[in-house]
Structure 1
């Protein structure tokens, strides 16, 4: 039976006893008197309180105690004593057992609703998924259910439709709204060879794409899976809470016995009054709020992160973030774009680019792709060439317009030489850690092209934000020292560790851990060991699957500025956990003396039913505190562009 049903049964059967309490001073009595109260309370004890008793008994058999132990003992004591009181014609308090059960269940109903609300961010993502897809079958497009889409299917997406699964555009272009997955509000331009994400909304054009991830492998499915796992995980601080609860329950039971003995034996109170104080102690001390403090905040924090495009995998990450002293970055694909780009052209741009593009059109070298991309941007068409030759380690040559053209490094030069002016330009560009290729025709050098893997536009702001938090920043790369230092200077990195083999990255992270906890940010297969070794592994969303699996935090938008936002969100969530635990502890510490009757002389007491109500609102306050994390301001140090 659900908690909600148990609550309504308990409430309905408690209301007649509530009416009896209110109207008794006016001469109205519940028909059947104590026998009716016994019948009503018995139903509540069997249906609504039963699960508490079963849980307490299961824990007892394992030599443990839990929150349900206090509820079970408190209600059972009140119930059984009232039966004894009926037999000896003394005042009964069946209503205490009934009301305590009702108010405890009320707190759990609130908790359940808050949990459901906290999970809505994930469920909304699931509901946004497309239901079908237009798949190319033979020579025509056929609409099929999403479950029938297969890998490498060619799918058509029209304006206003959702992208069914993940893939790569093979024809056409469009503008897509990816906010429901990445949290990025601005539309994104997409064309051939660009990746598209399932469940995002197509805005303007029609395009065809090839499916490369379906079912549970799509980004949306992985996001949902990661967030659900995170919401069910435990932060290490929760282990301390569990240990405290394990000791706290027996201590409370001892305090309740001492309270009873003090009032009955030493203060000469009636057995009924002494028992009321003892039961009140048991009920008010129930550490339900303590148990809710961590999981509810964790659930809300990870849910909010999902909406921001920041996936926090577990509670351990949240706690580790608070002590991070150093943030280490991979270079290629993390700080830099990950693709070489033409940065400078020395000489006649039209002529230099046309010759270079014509010769490199047949080359498979990564630098050739950069030159061809720049020529395409400048709308410069390649000319036909003959006798193409790739000269290993030097460059390429071919016949163009009847003359021998060449593109490569200085090792390619035989009779041609760089002029003093071009020599100075080449040295200047090389000192900026750029790769310089020479372009020539008929033994005459006509210009230079500088190529570099450029830092992402957001990298400098991201590094500055982390440094403003007092964090040390380090670049860890396999590139040579000169290239790495040049990139580090551009973005503001503190220290550079260069010429590191892929297998040695984890060892470098371990060395840095000697001075404090380390966060590592990376995206490649070779980054996986370092991501796992670091106290906090942060994987870029565009990275390899193995890197994403190894990271404790995944940045879906592939924006380095989200490193700072992830740290800010993690700290805010963990601080909310600590705030919740503080108030839960304070509530129990302050409530027990009042319930024990220490302030009875000044008229300040708590009956069991009022103690139950107070406990319910304590749990509600902690859950509300966690839910308010959705509205809390996440203070990022990233300066607006």
Structure 2
């Protein structure tokens, strides 16, 4: 079983680590999405839900109530920030006295005056830092809040000591107050920026409908979406959104499904067709029998996939997480050693020793390390969905730039997957005979022939016999008609005048069908699975990236060879059964470092699973069942290139964030140790460091792919 809960006070990756590690001891898997402040729990015992709620509260991360409103909370945070800004202004003004400017009134230099403002900031606005620090110490998972609490408390209580027991006016109340204010404003801006990383996800959620027209006992009722069950019939008027997935049982209409498929042309759906929730009914009233509700709907599955993408952690980020885990403890040791050296070895004044200690505590920034990956991946996954790409596999981001071989399925991947009549030889008037027999066939060839030249009407042939694997024969008036393969014609002892043409077209991998009337061949119909327009461009681009391209198909040698030559593939495997494709991928993995496979997501499941990186050329309704790392929600093969290129850009973006986070700490901590960076400077730079990571991740939104 799975449950997703909102945890409002998840503020940093250390929070995520604390939750994950705690529930691991209870044999409950917890996946934390810091950007969305959500935790997804996986458990087997139904009683575990109660335990989860209890344990979350015990470790300081209570779940949000049912009526939790993120907008209201954000408004509350904004008001708190405004009040904190008003309170910090008098303290900030006293800093002019430190610069030798005699413009500060004596009352503002009074220790008790400053203490009043600083105490409100320290213990009311800073209470959550104390609370979080308490739980971090209790859970033995030290985070940023511990450093903030120690740094500001040192400044506040030392100033309190000076105010009560000495006559000094050189106090640090402004330091503690401004640090609390700066961290508060930094958190607010950081959360706003993080919220932007999930804009795509929010737009998806906004597609959901709250109420539906339920038809019950012949009467129409407006009910909540939660009151609808599988099997119920709902009514959708023209211009309304379809609330849930289901089968149309009455009516017909044009449906705009661009939000799911990306196709701008509406589809005409009628009785028996499947309608997908969140799409729009454009023209007529229809009745739909609901087939999926809640988390089983296509929209819910897409949202879940995009959400889970944010949890992906490349191997290099896992190494960073280990460093971040011990980071705070190391900083505490450095701060303690710095204090001891300045106080007892260098013999500095207590105020200087404490200032250096405070600077070390507040300048360090473990948050930037932890945010490096999730923010970039959250932006990338949203951007990918806008391009009709769903990232699903965790290994994809670090393997994409290492792909040195890629194999393609043929039907429905490099080709459109539908046979069309490409050529017709013979007298066109005999096409009515061919159509008259093929209209009785359930084979795709029969459908394709009847879709050809709609202006020619098939004869009404009632007497017919289907010969499986060969063709169909029948009688119209006094004429004996045979439609089928060259073998079927030969077995009927009928001379075939089109044998030269037959050799030519079958050599090109095309399907050839003949019609014979009264022992005489009257036409030859050539069909082909049309190659997608972008296939050749894709193969050329992959070769320029030094990627070896392979074709794996169940078609015969001629068909495979023709297609391979047509799109520019040198290496191909023909006559391959679906279960054999995985074995070929395994062989390719012995020759190449990282092998990718592109298939249709269902028939190619074994090969998709075997490949190091897999792409499914699929539709939205398949995303829950296919095993691919990447699902392409559009049939445009250029999405393969975009998926690879965007993942490379994302990986580079993550590495930039990690390098920045390490360099910042490597530079700023020594500057604090040598008393070059003051606590206030450290606090400002601490905020900037985290924000830069988030802003760099948002820079991915500028991404535009160009085929080289």
Report the TM-score when normalising by structure 1.
0.87
Structure 1 counterpart of 2:92, from 18, 21, 25: 18
- Note if contact 1:132-1:145 (Cα within 8 Å) is conserved in structure 2: yes
1:407 Cα offset (Å): 0.7
Structure 1 counterpart of 2:434, from 356, 359, 374: 356
Structure 1 counterpart of 2:425, from 317, 321, 346: 346
| SS of equivalent residue, structure 1 residue 390 | strand
- For the pair 1:370 / 2:440, whether they are aligned, the reply is no
* 2:610 aligned residue: 533
In the alignment, the residues of structure 2 paired with residue 541 and residue 157 of structure 1 have an alpha-carbon distance, to the nearest angstrom, of: 29
Q: 1:139 to 1:53 in 2, by over 3 A?
A: closer
Instruction: Trace 1:291-440 onto structure 2 (pairs within 5 A).
Output: 291-313=370-392, 316-351=395-430, 353-374=431-452, 377-413=453-489, 414=491, 416-420=493-497, 422-440=498-516
- Note if contact 1:528-1:547 (Cα within 8 Å) is conserved in structure 2: no
Q: 1:71 to 1:498 in 2, by over 3 A?
A: farther
Question: For each residue in 1:361-400, what CA deviation from the matched residue of structure 2 results, as whole angstroms up to 9, or x when unmatched?
Answer: 22222322222222xx432222122431122332211101
Structure 2 counterpart of 1:466, from 539, 542, 557: 542
- For the pair 1:578 / 2:645, whether they are aligned, the reply is no
User: Which consecutive unaligned segments of at least 5 residues does structure 1 have?
Assistant: 599-604
Structure 2 counterpart of 1:608, from 676, 679, 693: 679
- For the pair 1:199 / 2:278, whether they are aligned, the reply is yes
| SS of equivalent residue, structure 2 residue 525 | strand
* 2:320 aligned residue: 241
* 2:558 aligned residue: 482
- Note if contact 1:135-1:155 (Cα within 8 Å) is conserved in structure 2: yes
- Note if contact 1:285-1:588 (Cα within 8 Å) is conserved in structure 2: yes
Q: 1:223 to 1:386 in 2, by over 3 A?
A: closer
Relative CO higher for 1 or 2, CA cutoff 8 Å, sep ≥ 6? 1
Q: 1:547 to 1:15 in 2, by over 3 A?
A: closer
In the alignment of these two chains, the number of paired residues is 624
- Deviation larger for 31-40 or 473-482: 31-40
Question: For each residue in 1:33-77, what CA deviation from the matched residue of structure 2 results, as whole angstroms up to 9, or x when unmatched?
Answer: 323433443443333434334444444455543333322332233
Question: For each residue in 1:589-609, what CA deviation from the matched residue of structure 2 results, as whole angstroms up to 9, or x when unmatched?
Answer: 2222322236xxxxxx32212
In the alignment, the residues of structure 2 paired with residue 412 and residue 549 of structure 1 have an alpha-carbon distance, to the nearest angstrom, of: 39
In the alignment, the residues of structure 1 paired with residue 607 and residue 551 of structure 2 have an alpha-carbon distance, to the nearest angstrom, of: 13
- For the pair 1:627 / 2:698, whether they are aligned, the reply is yes
| SS of equivalent residue, structure 1 residue 380 | coil
Report the TM-score when normalising by structure 2.
0.80
- Note if contact 2:175-2:679 (Cα within 8 Å) is conserved in structure 1: yes
- For the pair 1:256 / 2:335, whether they are aligned, the reply is yes
In the alignment, the residues of structure 2 paired with residue 213 and residue 73 of structure 1 have an alpha-carbon distance, to the nearest angstrom, of: 57
* 1:76 aligned residue: 153
* 1:601 aligned residue: none
* 1:595 aligned residue: 672
Q: 1:60 to 1:138 in 2, by over 3 A?
A: closer
Q: 1:138 to 1:6 in 2, by over 3 A?
A: closer
In the alignment, the residues of structure 2 paired with residue 636 and residue 151 of structure 1 have an alpha-carbon distance, to the nearest angstrom, of: 47
- Deviation larger for 354-363 or 14-23: 14-23
- Deviation larger for 429-438 or 321-330: 321-330
1:446 Cα offset (Å): 0.6
1:302 Cα offset (Å): 1.0
- Deviation larger for 497-506 or 115-124: 497-506
1:340 Cα offset (Å): 2.7
Q: 1:135 to 1:522 in 2, by over 3 A?
A: farther
In the alignment, the residues of structure 1 paired with residue 234 and residue 531 of structure 2 have an alpha-carbon distance, to the nearest angstrom, of: 34
RMSD between aligned residues: 3.2
* 1:47 aligned residue: 124
Structure 1 counterpart of 2:689, from 592, 612, 618: 618
In the alignment, the residues of structure 1 paired with residue 287 and residue 581 of structure 2 have an alpha-carbon distance, to the nearest angstrom, of: 37
Question: For each residue in 1:60-114, what CA deviation from the matched residue of structure 2 results, as whole angstroms up to 9, or x when unmatched?
Answer: 4555433333223322332333344445425431322222222122211111101
* 2:48 aligned residue: none
In the alignment, the residues of structure 1 paired with residue 467 and residue 373 of structure 2 have an alpha-carbon distance, to the nearest angstrom, of: 63
* 1:602 aligned residue: none
